[in-house]
Amino acid sequence: AKADGRNVARFFDPGMQDAADRRAAFEAAMRNGLSLGQFRLFCQPQFDGAGRAVGAEVLVRWQRGEHDLIGPDQFIGFAEESGLILQLGEHVLKESCRALARWHLDPQLGRLKLAVNVSVHQMRDPGFPASVANILDGTGAPPERLYLELTESVFAEDMHEITQRMHELRSHGICFSLDDFGTGYSSLAYLKRFPLSALKIDRSFVRDLGVDPGSASIVEAIIALARNFKLEIVAEGVEYEAQRDFLVDGGCSSMQGYLLGRPMPIDEFEHAYGAAGIG
Ligand code: C2E
Ligand code: CA
Ligand code: CA
Ligand code: CA
């Protein structure tokens, strides 16, 4: 029977029970990780066309052990399904605002914006704006430096509810960026209806610059669109000089990518981009 195991596995899903057990174990591990402070903030720098650092994006990683660092693609989806994203998101926001408050005291870091990814599940939570306001108050972070990155998936939500929530957060001085622009439910109507400050060009378009003429046209069109709507523009996934040159020539206001800087632990980021003294 043992020799048949592989064949059997082809016809049967691993038992429901096993899958449920695995989920329960993963959820327990995540809860434990949250309570132990294992979810660490990494920062990836963003630059303007002249090569000056203008901001950073926070990217979370799960440090499960000294040599065991897990990327968000392996746990954000699960965190969203299980509801743990609310706790994780709050942790990331709190640590991000603590960083902004520290940076405020540094002449270099104090000029940077900090972008934080926010899940649609957080935006669905009626208590979210108040919780963000509390975090801002408690940490003393300058709200105008905080950018919340939303994906186009928010547009599938109750439009009235989401815009109201965004306006409430805007009233505290916080800005919104639309992440992965061009890959989802984009409709130009949303650009007018939602209080956005920035668009992020998805890295799939940047990747194909110089390979696929269609991508160049899309990037040019997005930059023109952003200019008309008076939105800042951030291109992500810049890996080659040719891509950067194309974006700079096209008038892209800022960019991030491995060519310019990799995500790094936040203390390392503070060392690299601060004036000295902190980090
Ligand atoms: P994203 O928001 O689109 O973040 C950009 C991702 O692209 C990051 O992957 C980053 O490390 C990667 N990247 C940056 N530059 C380059 C480049 O030049 N080339 C390539 N190939 N990749 C580049 P990461 O850190 O694995 O994050 C993946 C996704 O996880 C993020 O995509 C974001 O959607 C999500 N995520 C990360 N942190 C959080 C968080 O705190 N909360 C929530 N809700 N989602 C998060
Ligand atoms: Ca993002
Ligand atoms: Ca993105
Ligand atoms: Ca993405």
| pLDDT tens per residue, range 190-227 | 888 899 999 999 999 999 998 888 999 999 999 999 99
So what's the pLDDT on residue 81?
A: 94
Say if CB 183 and CB 146 are below 8 A apart.
no
Query: CB of 257 closer than 6 A to ligand 1?
Result: yes
Q: Average pLDDT in the 228-241 region?
A: 96
Work out the mean pLDDT of the chain and round it to a whole number.
Answer: 91
Q: Specify the ligand 1 atom closest to the Cα of 79.
A: 44
Percent residues over pLDDT 90 in the chain: 80
In whole angstroms, what is the distance from residue 186 CA to residue 78 CA?
Answer: 25
pTM over 0.80: yes
| pLDDT tens per residue, range 120-148 | 999 999 999 999 999 999 999 999 999 99
At residue 218, what is the residue type?
I
In this structure, the residue with its CA closest to atom 25 of ligand 1 is 59
In this structure, the residue with its CA closest to atom 40 of ligand 1 is 117
Q: Is residue 251 left, alpha or beta, with left meaning phi > 0 and alpha meaning psi from -120 to 50? A: left
So what's the pLDDT on residue 15?
A: 56
Q: Average pLDDT in the 54-70 region?
A: 96
Quick one: DSSP state of residue 154? G
H helices present in the chain, as ranges = 5-11, 16-35, 76-82, 85-103, 120-124, 128-139, 159-170, 188-193, 203-207, 213-228, 241-249, 266-273
In this structure, the residue with its CA closest to atom 3 of ligand 1 is 180
Say if CB 145 and CB 177 are below 8 A apart.
no
| pLDDT tens per residue, range 26-53 | 999 999 999 999 999 999 999 999 999 9
Q: Specify the ligand 1 atom closest to the Cα of 71.
A: 26
- For residue 200, report the distance from its CA to the centre of ligand 4, in Å: 10
Say if CB 46 and CB 256 are below 8 A apart.
yes
Query: CB of 122 closer than 6 A to ligand 1?
Result: no
In this structure, the residue with its CA closest to atom 20 of ligand 1 is 237
Task: Give the pLDDT band of residue 186 (cuts 50, 70, 90).
Answer: low
In this structure, the residue with its CA closest to atom 15 of ligand 1 is 257
Task: Give the pLDDT band of residue 155 (cuts 50, 70, 90).
Answer: confident
In whole angstroms, what is the distance from residue 12 CA to residue 257 CA?
Answer: 42
Of 77-81, 193-197, 200-204, 275-279, which gets the smallest average pLDDT? Answer: 275-279
The residues whose Cβ lies within 5 A of ligand 4, an ion, are: 180
DSSP string spanning 80-99? HHHSTHHHHHHHHHHHHHHH
Query: CB of 117 closer than 6 A to ligand 1?
Result: yes
Query: CB of 92 closer than 6 A to ligand 1?
Result: yes
So what's the pLDDT on residue 8?
A: 39
Give the closest residue to 182 by CA, choosing from 203, 202, 210. Answer: 202
Q: Specify the ligand 1 atom closest to the Cα of 236.
A: 15
With a cut of 80, say whether residue 12 has pLDDT above it. no
Q: Average pLDDT in the 245-271 region?
A: 97
